[in-house]
Structure 1
Amino acid sequence: MPLIDLTVETFSRRHVPEMLDWFADVGAVVQWGGPGLSFPLKVAHLEAMLAETETAEPARWMFAGLASSKLAGHAQVALDWQNGVGRLSRVAINSQVRGRGLAKPFLREVVDRFFTNPAFERLELNVYTFNEAAIRTYHNLGFREEGVRRSSVKVGDTRWDTAIYGLLRSEWAASSD
C-alpha cells in the first residue's frame, strides 16, 4: 500500500509542465524514454507523444499518477492493435516522491486498464538491466523475463543491456484471482 494516496488518470497537456524537470541529464532521459529522445525533455517531445493518443485507434495510451493532486508518476503503453500487444514504456516516478510505495499500485492500475480491453492479449516491456528497482516492481506485477539484448543502447561512452519482459492476459487474470 502506498504511503500517500494515489489516483490514476489519462495523461494530458495540463500535466506536461510538471514533468519537464524530472530528468537531470541525458542518461536519465534515455533511461526513461529511449535513445530517440534528447536532453532536456521538451514540451514538443511530450506533445508528439500525446498526438499519438488522439486518433480513432490510438497508437499509445498515456497515464498520470497523481499524489496530492500533483503529478507523481507517468507511464505509456504503445499499442499494436493488429497483434493484440501493448508495450509498457516510459515509466517514471517523480524523484520527489520515490520510495513511498507508488510504483507498484500505479503500474497495477495501468496494467488493469490495459487488460480491460479485450483486444489485447500481451503486455511487454523493455528495461535496462541495471534498473533493479524497476525490475523488482515488474516481477512483483507478474512480468516474466524473456531475454536480454546485450549492448543494445549507447549513452555517451557507455553501452547498456536491455531486458525484455512479458505478461500474458491469462497470467494477469490468474494473479488477480
Structure 2
Amino acid sequence: MELIPFEPKDYPLLIDWIPSAEFNYQWGGPAYQYPLTIEQITQHCDDDTIFPYLFKVRGVTAGYIELRKTNSTTCRLCRVLILDSHQGLGLSKNMLSLAILKAKSDHQCTTLTLCVFEHNAVAISLYTSLGFSVTSVQAGAREVCGRHWTGVEMVASIAASARLAQQVMS
C-alpha cells in the first residue's frame, strides 16, 4: 500500500469517481462545484498548500486523499475517498494512516485537523480510532440538496496519531 502524488494525468479519474452533487459535497465540501472539471481540479491542485495523493493497493488505485498545509505545524486531512470497488475491506484506516505518517515525515506537522459531516458516523468512528477528537460542532452549517448538514471539526496530535498509524501499518 502506498500514497503516490495525484498528477494531471489522473484528473479524469477523479471526475469519474464523483457521481452526484450530493456525493461531491460530502467528499469535497465547498472546494468543488459539481460536475467536476479538469479546470477546477487544476486550479485546486495548483495551490501550493494542497498535497493530493492516490492510494494504491498492490498497484491498483483504491482511493484518494489530500493533505492541506494550514500553517507551519498543521495539516488538514481533506477529500478522503475509498472507491466503491474497495469499500468494506478496511482500507480507509490504512490510507489515513499513510497520510498521517506523510504529514509527520514530509510536512513536519505536529497537529492534524479535519471536518466530517455528523451523519457520517462510520468516518467519525474511524477518525476517533486514529486519535482524533471533536473540537466543535457546527449544527446545520451547510445546506446540501435541500437538507442541513452538521459539520464536526476534529483534531489530533500527530505524535499520538502517528503511533496509532504505525500500529495499523505494521
**TM-score calculated relative to the size of structure 1:** 0.85
Q: Can you give the 5+ residue segments of structure 1 that lack an aligned partner in the other structure? A: 1-5, 53-57
How many angstroms apart in 1 are the aligned matches of 2:50 and 2:133?
A: 22
Tell me the secondary structure at the aligned position of residue 16 of structure 2.
Answer: coil
2:57 is aligned with 1:62 = no
Displacement after TM superposition at 1:174 (Å):
5.0
Tell me the secondary structure at the aligned position of residue 35 of structure 1.
Answer: helix
Who is 1:19 aligned against? 14
Tell me the secondary structure at the aligned position of residue 31 of structure 1.
Answer: helix
Who is 1:77 aligned against? 67
How many angstroms apart in 1 are the aligned matches of 2:31 and 2:52?
A: 18
Who is 1:40 aligned against? 35
* Deviating 4+ runs (over 6 angstroms): none
How many angstroms apart in 2 are the aligned matches of 1:51 and 1:118?
A: 17
Identity of counterpart residues, as a percentage? 22
1:39-83 residue CA offsets vs partner (Å, 9 max, x unmatched): 11222222122212xxxxx3111111023533211111111234x
How many angstroms apart in 1 are the aligned matches of 2:3 and 2:106?
A: 17
Conserved 8 A contact 2:131-2:157: no
Q: Can you give the 5+ residue segments of structure 2 that lack an aligned partner in the other structure? A: none
